[in-house]
Amino acid sequence: MIMNTNNIRRPLSRHALAAALSLLLLPVAAQAGDTGSRWAPTRVFVQLGVAEHASAAVVGAVWDWSWQRDVGWGRLTGYWDISFGRWASDSADRTTSSHAWVTQLGITPVVRLYPRGPGPGWYLEGGIGANVLLPIYRTEDKRFSTSFNFGDHLALGRTFGDRGEHDVAVRFQHFSNAGIKEPNPGEDFLQLRYSHRF
């Protein structure tokens, strides 16, 4: 009997899984040491997303900026976001019904506006960062031409808890290479993110 493996989803590779676990454990290790270290992340997150041609699971860490600015409609602040994700999409090979996997690594500076000042409550944010997609993202209908892509997002979120330690956001994120090379169809994700502050 010959087994058809085309319909089986490939699990995360051992290397990808090890990288994801390392990223998740980084904040724990950092908190075990000097909690005042500027290298210790302030938050970790998990994020799920859907696009027309793909779905994504992402984990990451956040480093809050010390910079804050009061503006007429609230307080601006920001953070650095480092992420590791896996995208599952329909295979670009129309002769099979398999799924293709893409690994996403990203770093993004993000600006956040708290209309009522920092602390528990609503916020708006946006960021544009650099991402590497390996291998190059291809589906039945879309074909990226580069591994390097920009990821820009807008989000509406809310922090809650005694110290604002919980954070839930709905995000819209667009990935493309900004016309560096064609084709450049881009991919748009609707995402749900949960973050936890230490």
| pLDDT at residue 7, as a whole number | 40
Domain annotation covers residue 4: no
Closest to 49 measured CA to CA, from 158, 197, 195, 188: 188
Domain annotation covers residue 118: yes
| pLDDT at residue 116, as a whole number | 82
Domain annotation covers residue 20: no
CATH classification at residue 104: 2.40.160.20
Q: Please, where are the H alpha helices in the chain?
A: 14-32
Closest to 64 measured CA to CA, from 84, 38, 86: 38
Domain annotation covers residue 5: no
Which residue shows structure tokens 């209309």?
115
What are the residues whose beta carbons fall under 8 Å from the beta carbon of 198, sequence distance 6 or more?
27, 31, 35, 40, 41, 42, 43, 165
Where is 124: in which H helix or E strand?
Answer: strand 121-134
Domain annotation covers residue 31: no
Task: Give, in degrees to the nearest 5, the angle at Cα 163 between 158 and 166.
Answer: 40
Domain annotation covers residue 175: yes
pTM of the model as a whole: 0.79
Domain annotation covers residue 111: yes
| pLDDT at residue 174, as a whole number | 98
Number of domains making up the chain: 1
Which structural domain range is residue 147 located in? 47-197
Q: How far apart are CA 41 and CA 52, in angstroms?
A: 32
| pLDDT at residue 9, as a whole number | 42
Domain annotation covers residue 38: no
In tens digits, the chain (198 residues) has pLDDT values of 444 434 434 444 555 555 555 555 544 444 444 456 678 999 999 999 999 989 999 999 999 999 999 998 899 999 999 999 999 987 655 555 556 899 999 999 999 999 987 678 999 999 999 999 999 999 888 999 999 999 999 999 999 999 889 999 999 999 999 999 999 999 999 999 999 998
| pLDDT at residue 34, as a whole number | 46
